[in-house]
Chains A and B, each alone.
Chain A
Amino acid sequence: MLDARIPDGPLAEKWSNFKSHARLVNPANRKKLTVIVVGTGLAGSALAASMAEMGYHVKCFCFQDTPRRAHSVAAQGGVNACKNYKNDGDSVYRMFYDTIKGGDFRSREANVYRLAECSASLIDQAVAQGVPFAREYGGYLNNRSFGGVQVSRTFYARGQTGQQLLLGAYQALMRQVGLGNVELHARHEMMDLVLTDGVARGIIVRNMDTGKLERYGGHAVVLATGGFGKIYFLSTLAMGANGSAIWRAYKRGAYMANPSWTQIHPTCLPQSGEYQSKLTLMSESLRNDGRIWVPKKQDDQRSPNNIPEEERDYYLERKYPAFGNLSPRDIASRAAKERIDEGYGVGPLRNAVYLDFTRAIQNQGEAAIRKKYGNLFTMYQKITNVNAYKEPMKISPAAHFSMGGLWVDYELMTTIPGLFAIGEANFADHGANRLGANSLLQACVDGYFIAPYTLANYLAADIKTGPIDTEDVAFAKAQVGVEEFMSKLLAIKGNQSADQFHRLLGKILYDKCGLLRSKEGLMAAITEIRQLKAEFWKNLHVPGGEAMNSELEKAGRVADFLELAELMCNDALYRNESCGAHFRVEYQTPDGEALRNDKDFAFVSAWEYKGEDNGPELHKEELNFDVVTPTVRSYK
C-alpha cells in the first residue's frame, strides 16, 4: 500500500497543521537553492513566480515561444471558489463534498478539502493581479453556476477565464524574470529526467529552435506539463500537448496513477472530415442557457428549426430531471454517445446533438445571451459558418482532460524524491471525473498556495548540497539516451508521418478506451496498440534533420503516446467497476448508470515501470472516507 503522507488531525485542520509544522528555509539560504519548473501554464507560472518572490532561484521551461501560450489560456468557462458571495449556502465543506461526489468517490479526502479551502485566496490573488473577472453593477464580483453543483460559485472573465488567469500568472512570472530571479527557457522541451542517488536533480531539454540538447540542474524538479488528452489525437487540447515529460519521469521511476481516467467533454464541435486536427470546445457554461436535444425520430433529415417541439427529445432533462442540462460531464457525454449510437445523431456525419438557445433568447433577449456568450457564438460561426442565434449549435463529446497523471502524495511529490507534479500533470483531486471550473482552480492552487510550502519542506534538507553538477555521469548518460532516441526516429525513413500513426492511435483509444470500455475491447486495443507501435518503429518517416523540425518533435511525442496508451488500457482493464468517466459496460445498473464497487476498488491505481520487457507493477493507495460516506451518485 502506498502512503500518501496525509497529516494528522481532523480534515478541516490538516492543511493548517501541515503548514504550522512544515520545515522552512531561511531567506538567506533560499538563493542557494534552485528549483526547476517544467511548464508555464497556470500551475507552472504560479509556482515559478511564487518561489522566485520568496527568494529561490528558478529555472522555468515551456515548449511554446512564450509562457503566455500554455494551454491554460484556452479555458473558457470559469474557476470555482467557495466565496459564498451569492449567499446560496456555499461553504468549504459543500465545495469539498461536491468535488468528492463529482469525482465519484475516487479521490483523496484531504487533498480535495485543501483544494476547496484554498479556493477563496485564489480569487483574491487573481483580482490583485488585475484579472478582470465579471462584475455586477454595484462593482462586486459576479458568479454563475456550472455542471454538477447547485450553488453559483464559478467566477468568470467572459468566455476567456483561462486566458485572463494565465495572463495574471504570466505577468507575475515576467516580473520575476525581469528581476533576474527566474531564468526562462521558452521553446525548450523536456526530454528526460536526471536522478543522482535516486533523487531528482535535473533535466535534459531540447532547444527546439536549434535542436541542441541542454542540461539543467536543480535541487528539486517540478513537472507542470499539463494534460495528455491529445493522446486521442482529436481533442480539445493544443497541438503540442503531450505526455512526454511525465512519461519520461514514469520510466525513471515515478508512479503513474489512474492513467485511463480521461474526461470526454460533452460540448465540443463534432468532427467534420478526415483532415481534422482538433475539436474545439464550446464552454460548458453554455449549458446554463442552452438545452440539449435530438430528434425523436432516428436519422431525421429535417433542419432543426423545422422539427416541432413535440418531436424533440430533451434527453438530459428527461433522464436527469434534477440537474437536467447541467448534469456532470461524464453523464452528459455518455448520454450523448448513447443517443448517437442509437441512430439519433444529427449533422452530416450523424455524430452530433443539438444545443439550443431558442428558449433562452425568447426569455432573456438576444442581447443578454450575446453579453454572456458572445465570443463563443462568434467562434462557433467562424468554424462552422452557422449563426447559433438563429439555429441550434451541433455539439459532440471530445477528449478533454486527464484526471490521471503522476501519482503524488499530499505534498505533491511523486514517488521519486525531489520530483513534484502539479496541475493537470498529477492525478490528484478530481477522482474519476472532474467538475467544471475545478481544474483552473487546482492548477492555480497547486502553484500559488500548496507547492511553495511543500517544496520548502523538502528543500530545507538540501541547504548544504551546493550547486548541482551537470557534468555528473548521470546527466551525460541521460543525454546520450536522448540522442539515441532522436537518431533512431530520424533513421527509420519509412513512409508514414507521425500524425498518421497518431490518428490511428486516437481512433483505437476512442473506440475501446473512451466513453465505453469492455474487457474484450481493451484486450483487443492492447494488441492493436502493440502492432501500431511496431509499425511506427518500422515505418515512420521524419523528413529534415536534427535542427528545428516540427516533425521530429511530433514523432517523439507519438512514440511516448504509443507506450502510454498501452498503460491506459491496462489500467482500464484492471478496474472491474464503473466510476465517473471510467465506464466498463460489464458494470452498470439496470438503467445504465455506472456501477461502482467500493468493496474492491476504493483505491488509486499507481503503476510502476518495470522495464521494456516486463509489464508494469500495480501499487494501490487505499482511499479512506473518514468524513463522507460514498453513496450512489445520483443526478436524477
Chain B
Amino acid sequence: MNIRLKIWRQEHEGDAGKMVDYSLNDISSDMSFLEMLDTLNEQLIQKNERTIEFDHDCREGICGQCGVMINGRPHGPLTNTTTCQLHMRTFKDNELIVIEPFRATAFPVKCDLKVDRSAFDRIIQAGGFISVNTGQAPEANDIPIGSPVAESAFDAAACIGCGACVAVCKNASAALFTSAKISHLVLLPQGKIEAAARVKNMVEQMDNEGFGHCSNTEACEVACPQAISVLHIARMNYEYNKLQVLKK
C-alpha cells in the first residue's frame, strides 16, 4: 500500500516546529505503525536527513513509552490500542496520515514527536505508593482479599502511564491517570491506611504540574489503551471531597 504523511518536526524544546510532508510507497499492510516510521527513517538516513524522533520501547503495548496523535486521536483510530500495536492494515491505501506529538502544557515537546511526561512521575512521588519498607511485609496470605476486590484493583493498576488520557482531554487533565492509582491503592486493605494523605497530595501535585480540571467528557476512557474506567475519577473525587468535609 501507499501512504501520505504529515509529521510534526521540531528540533528541540522552544523551537517553533512545523508539519512536514512525506510519502511511503509499497509498504506491507501487516507492518506495524512504528515499523512504518522505521521504514520512513531508513529512507531519511539514505538521504542524510535527520530522522524522526519518536518514543517507543517494548513495542507490545505495555511499557507506555510510545504514543503520538494520529489523525487527531491519541494512539490512532483503534480503541484501547497503543501506537505500537496499531498496524497499517487499519489505514486505507493512499490515505493521508497526520502525526503529531501528545500536546499538553504539562507535556512539553522535547523533539519531533517526543514529549516530556515526567510530571506523571512526580504525581506518583506525591503519594502513589504504599509506605512499606523492604522487610516489613507480613505473610502474604495473612490478609485475604476477595477475588473481585483484587480484580477491581487490578483494573485500575493496569494503567501504562502513556499519557493518552491527557492528550485527548480538551482540558489536558490528568484525572484518569491520577485516579487510577488512587483507586488501585484505596481498594486494597494495605492501601487504605494512607488514603487521605494520598488523595490530597496527588491531587495537589496534579494541579501544580499544570494539568487542567476534569469536566467529565469521558474521552479519556475511550482513548486509554487499557480501557481504564472513568469511574475511578468518581472515586478520586469522592475520596477528595470526603477529606474536605472531614476538615470542616
Give the distance in Å from the alpha carbon of A452 to the alpha carbon of B135 in the complex: 11
A124 proximity list for chain B (CB < 8 A): 137-140
* Contacting residue for A238 out of B48, B63, B141, B158, CB 8 A: B63
A53 CB-CB contact with B under 8 Å: yes
Select which of B38, B44, B85 is within 8 A of A379 by beta carbon: B85
Residue ID in chain B nearest A142 by CB atoms: B147
Contact with B along A499-528 (1 / 0, CB 8 A): 110000000000000000000000000000
Chain A interface residues (CB < 8 Å from chain B): 46, 49-50, 53, 64-69, 71, 73-74, 83, 85, 121, 123-130, 132-141, 157-158, 160, 163-164, 167, 170-172, 174-175, 177-178, 184, 186, 209, 238-240, 272-273, 275-278, 280-281, 379, 382-383, 385, 448-449, 452, 495, 497, 499-500, 541, 543-544, 547-551
What residues on B are CB-neighbors of A158 within 8 Å? Answer: 154
- B134 and A53 within 8 A (CB): yes
Interfacial chain A residues near B150, Cβ < 8 Å: 132-135
Verify B134–A541 contact, CB threshold 8 A.
no
B146 contacts A by Cβ under 8 Å: yes
Judge whether B134 and A130 touch: CB under 8 Å. Answer: no
Known A-B contacts A141-B140, A172-B129; the reply to A275 vs B121 at CB < 8 A is no
Chain B residues with CB under 8 Å of A68's CB are 63-64, 121, 161
Bound together, the chains give a CA A133 to CA B32 distance in angstroms of 32
Name 20 extra pairs, CB < 8 A, besides A127-B140, A160-B62, A172-B134: A68-B161, A125-B132, A125-B135, A126-B140, A129-B129, A130-B190, A132-B188, A133-B150, A135-B144, A163-B62, A184-B121, A239-B56, A239-B57, A275-B27, A382-B61, A452-B134, A541-B48, A548-B53, A551-B45, A551-B51
Q: With both chains docked as a complex, state the minimum distance between the C-beta of B80 and any C-beta of chain A, in angstroms.
A: 9
Complex contacts, A123 vs chain B, CB 8 Å: 140
| Contact A66 to B117, CB < 8 A, known contacts A73-B58, A130-B188, A164-B157 | yes
Cβ of A541 and Cβ of B45 under 8 Å apart? Answer: yes
Bound together, the chains give a CA A277 to CA B33 distance in angstroms of: 11
B218 proximal to A (CB < 8 A): no
Beta-carbon contact of A74 and B131 below 8 Å = no
Q: Mark B3-38, 1 if CB is under 8 A from A, else 0.
A: 000000000100000000000000110111011001
Q: Which B residues, 52 to 98, have Cβ-Cβ distances below 8 Å to chain A?
A: 53, 55-65, 78, 81, 85, 87, 89
Q: Which residue of A lies closest to B52 (CB)?
A: A550
Given contacts A69-B57, A132-B157, A544-B50, contact A64 B62 (CB under 8 A): no
Q: A135-B145, A175-B131 are in contact. Are A71 and B30 (CB under 8 A)?
A: no
CB distance from A206 to the nearest CB of B (A): 15
Q: Smallest CB–CB gap between A540 and chain B, Å?
A: 10
Residue of chain A at shortest CB distance from B81: A382
B134 touches A209 (CB 8 A): no
Closest to B205 in A: A178
- Asked whether A383 lies within 8 Å of B45 as measured between CB atoms, the reply is no
User: Chain B contacts of A272 at CB under 8 A?
Assistant: 30
Q: Is the CB of A141 within 8 A of B141?
A: yes
In the bound complex, residues from chain B placing their C-beta under 8 Å from that of A281 are 60
Tell whether B130 is near chain A: CB-to-CB under 8 Å.
Answer: yes
Contact of A139 among B45, B50, B145 (CB under 8 A): B145
Which of B58, B124, B141 is A171 in contact with, Cβ under 8 Å? Answer: B124
Point out which of A71, A123, A139 has the most chain B C-beta atoms below 10 A from its C-beta. A139
Assess whether B42 is interfacial by the CB under 8 Å rule: yes
Question: A139 to B58, Cβ gap below 8 A?
Answer: no
Are B157 and A275 closer than 8 Å at their CB atoms? no
Task: Tell me, yes or no, whether B184 is within 8 Å of chain A by CB.
Answer: yes
Distance of A66 Cα from B138 Cα, bound (Å): 30
Residues on the A chain within 8 Å of B65, using CB: 64-65, 69
Residues of B within 8 A of A83 (CB): 140-141
How far is the CB of B36 from the nearest CB of chain A, in Å? 8
* Chain A residues within an 8 Å CB radius of B126: 178
- How far apart are the CA atoms of A129 and B48 in the complex, in Å? 49
Measured between beta carbons, the chain A residues less than 8 angstroms from B48 are: 541, 543
Which residues of the other chain, A, contact B42 by a CB distance below 8 angstroms?
A: 497, 499-500
Instruction: Output the least CB separation between B142 and chain A (Å).
Output: 9
- Docked pose: A261 CA to B168 CA in angstroms: 45
B217 partner residues in chain A, CB cutoff 8 A: none
Question: Which single residue of chain B is at the shortest CB-CB distance from A123?
Answer: B140
Residue of A nearest to B129 (CB): A171
CA distance A171 to B28 in the complex (A): 41
Q: A542's closest neighbor in chain B, by CB?
A: B45
Residues of B183-206 whose CB lies within 8 A of A? 184-185, 188, 190-191
Note all chain B residues with C-beta closer than 8 A to A74. 58, 60, 62-63
A276, closest chain B residue (CB): B35
Q: How far in angstroms is the closest Cβ of chain A from B54?
A: 8
Specify which chain A residues have a CB less than 8 angstroms from the CB of B228 in the assembled complex. none
A-B contact pairs, 25 of them (CB 8 A): A46-B134, A50-B133, A53-B134, A65-B117, A69-B57, A71-B58, A83-B141, A124-B138, A127-B137, A127-B143, A130-B153, A132-B188, A135-B146, A135-B147, A136-B147, A163-B62, A171-B124, A238-B59, A239-B56, A239-B57, A239-B58, A278-B59, A544-B50, A549-B53, A551-B51
Q: Judging by beta carbons under 8 Å apart, are A73 and B153 in contact?
A: no
- Docked Cα-Cα span, A273 to B58, in Å, equals 19
Given A134-B150, A140-B144, are A65 and B38 also a contact pair (CB < 8 Å)?
A: no
Partner of A121, one of B55, B56, B137, B153: B137
The answer to the question of B128 belonging to the interface, with a C-beta cut-off of 8 Å to chain A, is yes
Pair B81/A548 contact, Cβ less than 8 Å: no
Other-chain contact of A175, B116, B125, B139, B154 (Cβ < 8 Å): B125
Q: B216 in the interface, Cβ–Cβ < 8 Å? A: no
- Which B-chain residue is minimally distant from A177 (CB atoms)? B125
Question: Hey, which chain B residues are within 8 Å of A177, CB to CB?
Answer: 121, 125
**7 smallest A-B Cβ distances: which pairs?**
A139-B144, A178-B125, A128-B137, A171-B129, A124-B137, A132-B154, A50-B134
Say whether A275 contacts B138, CB under 8 Å.
Answer: no
A547 touches B28 (CB 8 A): no
Give A138 to B145 CA distance when docked, in angstroms.
8
CB nearest to A133 among chain B residues: B150
Please tell me if the beta carbons of A53 and B38 are within 8 angstroms of each other in the complex.
Answer: no
Choice from B35, B78, B136, B141 contacting A128 with Cβ under 8 Å: B136
Report the minimum CB–CB distance from A488 to chain B (whole Å): 18
At the interface, yes or no: B244 with Cβ under 8 Å from chain A?
A: no
- Evaluate contact between B125 and A73: CB separation under 8 angstroms: no
